[in-house]
Amino acid sequence: MQKLKEEVRRAILNAALKSFKEQGYAAASMRKIAQDAGIAAGNIYRYYSGKEQLLDAIIGPVFEKCAAYMDEYRRMLDVPLAKERNKKQYFDMVRDTMVGLFKLHSSEFMILLNRSEGTRYEHVKNELMLFVEKILVDEFRLVRGNREHYSGQDGALASMLAGTLVEGLSRIIRDHTDTVTIEMLIDRLLDVYNTGIAFVIEDMRGIERL
Amino acid sequence: MQKLKEEVRRAILNAALKSFKEQGYAAASMRKIAQDAGIAAGNIYRYYSGKEQLLDAIIGPVFEKCAAYMDEYRRMLDVPLAKERNKKQYFDMVRDTMVGLFKLHSSEFMILLNRSEGTRYEHVKNELMLFVEKILVDEFRLVRGNREHYSGQDGALASMLAGTLVEGLSRIIRDHTDTVTIEMLIDRLLDVYNTGIAFVIEDMRGIERL
Amino acid sequence: MQKLKEEVRRAILNAALKSFKEQGYAAASMRKIAQDAGIAAGNIYRYYSGKEQLLDAIIGPVFEKCAAYMDEYRRMLDVPLAKERNKKQYFDMVRDTMVGLFKLHSSEFMILLNRSEGTRYEHVKNELMLFVEKILVDEFRLVRGNREHYSGQDGALASMLAGTLVEGLSRIIRDHTDTVTIEMLIDRLLDVYNTGIAFVIEDMRGIERL
Amino acid sequence: MQKLKEEVRRAILNAALKSFKEQGYAAASMRKIAQDAGIAAGNIYRYYSGKEQLLDAIIGPVFEKCAAYMDEYRRMLDVPLAKERNKKQYFDMVRDTMVGLFKLHSSEFMILLNRSEGTRYEHVKNELMLFVEKILVDEFRLVRGNREHYSGQDGALASMLAGTLVEGLSRIIRDHTDTVTIEMLIDRLLDVYNTGIAFVIEDMRGIERL
DNA sequence: GATGAATGAGCATTCATTCAT
DNA sequence: AATGAATGAATGCTCATTCAT
């Protein structure tokens, strides 16, 4: 019952994707992946030279893309944004890019962000959150003005909101495969965070005014 | 160096809590737990009959409480809520209960929700989400009225919002230990979701009116 | 790219010879041998039914020759050698035969003697040594005369000298490929052992005379 | 059937010594060693953290000693030796030291020199041979004088004689355990090489004189 | 005849669990 | 009650061998 090479490669990737997604990289078993792929354990190594390389094959490309975009956008953040209008454009661009990536590689992103403990990718989620956090912190500082009210509390708040937002996006791509639904849900989640964060900022402004 | 039984039990629980929290159930090592507890590996088994039972001892009580509340509140949901006033009261009650639990047993909850993969608790987070989802769905149905506009899309939306909210709460208790900060962050996150969901509902209403 | 059978067989043998020589039987890899031979791994099994049989094909003939000579010469040893002159002739004959074999099949001999661990040939080196030992023992007994001075010590000495000599010859064919150099080194080594053993025997005679 | 720790450690070391000696480091199996030691495979790792460390425990100390002596004696070689008398003393010292080491740690030496392929010790035998070779080459150069007759042939000869001598010593300690016998055999082997090499040198002189 | 994908037993190593002390 | 040595099944991985093509 010999199979075509590409077919087996697909089977391995699918099985690995499933195992990594469900159990995480460390807990996933090469034997189980082989079993799910319908092949003998040793045969995986004809296609991928090890467990780590199998992970690379799955999330490497997505990681590269993501890292490239983050680098670019981080550089743009350092250039002072003169007008509100620019800021809105920046936000939309970041959102569209990320949402685009999320929709295109949802499972891979999910593993990259949530199931990579113990690999060289384990810091990625944190970096993404720090990036979102940076945007929020900038926003908060603007509100606080020069009145030195920005505090560790604000930092924890920005970190939490960034974290939960990224986590929320991860969840959406984890739980859905239909891109129309994913797009709708991401839009809604961003609506919630936009409105909610606006409210929180308004609240800050109120306190500042006192 | 005979030790009092209760002292050792405490040491084991503390060490296990730490390990489970930091590495998750599967990746935690009984040897390391014993070492951290200052006892021999084999001695754990005098107190707990295995790794799974040790987990039970830690999150079982919290799980029971949580399950009990959820049962109760779910039953209350089935009774039609006559007035808006009641609904507000219900929301506040649920929120206060959950937040109370979260704050009281943050570490245990964190393990229950985020580090229980591969155990019989791995479904709990999902159940909690389903519960929150139910509340949101009821809300959405009310908006849609009898005009049969409630759809699968609304269901996915409720599920997503519930999921990300619970996940967000989990993250807060995962990343912080100071109860004042935890309370602040939970309040802020609920603010965001309240405001945001109100906006989303308003949006639905607008569409319905057309 | 259809190949002639004999051509492939040659390629396999050459590649196997190389691998066995460099890494020893156990550590040699059938994959590597196939690769070096320019054929697919599985194809080796059309020509040789397994790793062990491949070894047989390489060193079997040399082993047979060597064993045949040793049998013959051993039988000759049992016939009492009347005169010194005969003995000298016998020695020279043995030496010439062995050196001839060594030079003709140096690689195969090298594998047979040094790289056959874990196969049915691993005892051969020892047998060859026992043969040389037998010659030396006879010599020693002659020196000791009928005075019953021949002892276990003499046996150990004969065994050691035989062993180190054979080992030395093995090393020469292991480390060199140029037949002129091999011949020179073998001659020199035999010079050393001839002179040295003569000295040892002279020493024995001296002790006997006391 | 719990055993005393030191007893098991001994059993492991003995079994490992046996396996390494018979099959070499690479081909030796931890399972087999455990079996021979009468314990479960995993239990070895309570005593030694891995295969390599098990080897270290066996030959590490011997290696250190040997390396220290070789360093010292190599330094002494670089200092010009004025008189023949000094040279004789030097030879005797080297011989006594090496023979002392050989007799004290015969099995360990045997593994160090003959069964360490694939480990960080695999170069040691070669270094020892190069050391002996250096001594021989010095001797040969002396004979050749300034007449530029020293050649690559002489180098191959020195290398071969050094190699076979060291190999011979290795064999003695591999095949015997009784120190009296070992001493006698080493003395005899050195006699053979001394006499033999003297003969070879005499031969060189003869050729030079022509 | 030849290929190379596939198999499965073997390797070193880890770890929850057991049990003699 | 406590120890920690011992077990054995599981892990990622390699390789001689088989077999569908």
Mind listing the pLDDT tens digit for each residue in D166-205? 888 878 877 787 878 888 888 889 889 888 888 888 888 7
pLDDT, tens digit, for every residue of B28-70? 999 999 999 999 999 999 999 999 999 999 999 999 999 999 8
Q: What value does the mean pLDDT take over residues A132-136? A: 84
C167: nearest CB among D118, D171, D200: D171
Q: What is the pLDDT of residue B84?
A: 56
pLDDT, tens digit, for every residue of D111-153? 998 899 889 999 998 888 888 888 888 777 776 665 555 566 7
Q: What is the pLDDT of residue D74?
A: 85
Lowest pLDDT segment from A72-81, A96-105, C81-90: C81-90
Q: What is the pLDDT of residue A32?
A: 96
Look up residue C42 and give its DSSP letter: G
* A90 vs A95: CA distance, rounded Å: 8
CA A66, A68, A74, A79: dihedral to nearest 10 degrees? -140
Residue B157: name the closest of A163, A114, A180 by CA: A180
Rounded to 5 degrees, what are φ and ψ at B107?
Answer: -65, -45
- C80 pLDDT band, cuts 50/70/90, is low
Q: What is the pLDDT of residue C63?
A: 94
Q: What is the pLDDT of residue B62?
A: 93
**Taking CB atoms and an 8 Å cutoff, what residues of chain B touch A21?**
none
* C108 vs C102: CA distance, rounded Å: 9
- What single-letter amino acid sits at D110? M
Q: Which residue is nearest to nucleotide E9 (CA to C1')?
A: A42
* D195 vs B210: CA distance, rounded Å: 116
User: Chains that contact A by 3+ CB pairs under 8 Å?
Assistant: B
Contact D12, D37 (CB under 8 A): yes
pLDDT, tens digit, for every residue of D84-121? 557 778 878 887 888 788 778 888 988 998 899 889 99
Provide the 3-class DSSP secondary structure of residue D83: coil
| CA of residue B57 relative to chain centroid, distance | 17
Q: What is the pLDDT of residue B50?
A: 93
pLDDT, tens digit, for every residue of B91-122? 788 888 888 888 788 889 889 988 898 899 98
Other CB atoms within 10 A of residue D155 CB = 14
pLDDT value at D75 more than 90: no
Q: What is the pLDDT of residue C95?
A: 81
- Over its C-alpha atoms, chain A yields an Rg (Å, rounded) of 21
Residue B184: name the closest of B195, B172, B196 by CA: B172
Residues in chain C whose beta carbon is closer than 8 A to a beta carbon of chain D? 24, 26-27, 117-118, 153, 156-157, 159-161, 163-164, 167-168, 171-172, 175-176, 181, 184-185, 188-189, 191-200, 203
Q: What value does the mean pLDDT take over residues B153-170? A: 86
Residue A9: name the closest of A36, A48, A40 by CA: A48
pLDDT value at B149 more than 70: no
> B178, exposed or middle or buried, with CB in 10 Å at 0-12, 13-18, 19+?
exposed
| CA of residue C129 relative to chain centroid, distance | 8
* A116 vs A98: CA distance, rounded Å: 19
* C140 vs C156: CA distance, rounded Å: 12
Q: What is the pLDDT of residue D39?
A: 95
pLDDT, tens digit, for every residue of A51-70? 999 999 999 999 999 999 98
Residue A139: name the closest of A187, A100, A96, A193 by CA: A193
Rounded to 5 degrees, what are φ and ψ at D80?
Answer: -60, 135
Looking at every residue in chain A, the average pLDDT score rounds to 85
Count how many pairs of residues, chain C against chain D, have C-beta atoms within 8 Å: 112
Disruptive mutation site among A188, A189, A197 for chain B (greatest number of B CBs within 10 Å): A188
Most distant CA pair in chain D: distance in Å?
A: 78
Q: What value does the mean pLDDT take over residues A108-120? A: 90
Residue C172: name the closest of C193, C154, C143 by CA: C193
Contact B131, B73 (CB under 8 A): yes
* A170 vs A106: CA distance, rounded Å: 8
pLDDT value at C151 more than 90: no
Q: What value does the mean pLDDT take over residues A182-192? A: 86
Other CB atoms within 10 A of residue A160 CB = 26
Q: Do B160 and A168 touch (CB under 8 A)?
A: yes
pLDDT value at C149 more than 70: no
Supply C11's token pair. Answer: 């390629």
Residues in chain A whose beta carbon is closer than 8 A to a beta carbon of chain B? 23-24, 26-27, 117-118, 153, 156-157, 159-161, 163-164, 167-168, 171-172, 175-176, 181, 184-185, 188-189, 191-200, 203
Question: CA–C1' distance D38–F6 (Å)?
Answer: 11
* C112 vs C119: CA distance, rounded Å: 10
> A95, exposed or middle or buried, with CB in 10 Å at 0-12, 13-18, 19+?
middle
**Taking CB atoms and an 8 Å cutoff, what residues of chain B touch A193?**
192, 196
User: Chains that contact B by 3+ CB pairs under 8 Å?
Assistant: A
As a whole-number percent, the residues of chain C with pLDDT over 70 amount to 92
* B47 vs C192: CA distance, rounded Å: 75
Q: Do D160 and C175 touch (CB under 8 A)?
A: yes
pLDDT, tens digit, for every residue of C82-141? 555 577 788 888 888 888 888 788 889 889 988 898 899 989 988 888 888 888 888 888
Residue C94: name the closest of C73, C108, C109 by CA: C73
Q: What is the pLDDT of residue B1?
A: 44
**Taking CB atoms and an 8 Å cutoff, what residues of chain C touch D151?**
none
C164: nearest CB among D171, D194, D195: D171
- C1 pLDDT band, cuts 50/70/90, is very low
Other CB atoms within 10 A of residue A1 CB = 3
pLDDT value at A186 more than 60: yes
Other CB atoms within 10 A of residue C71 CB = 11
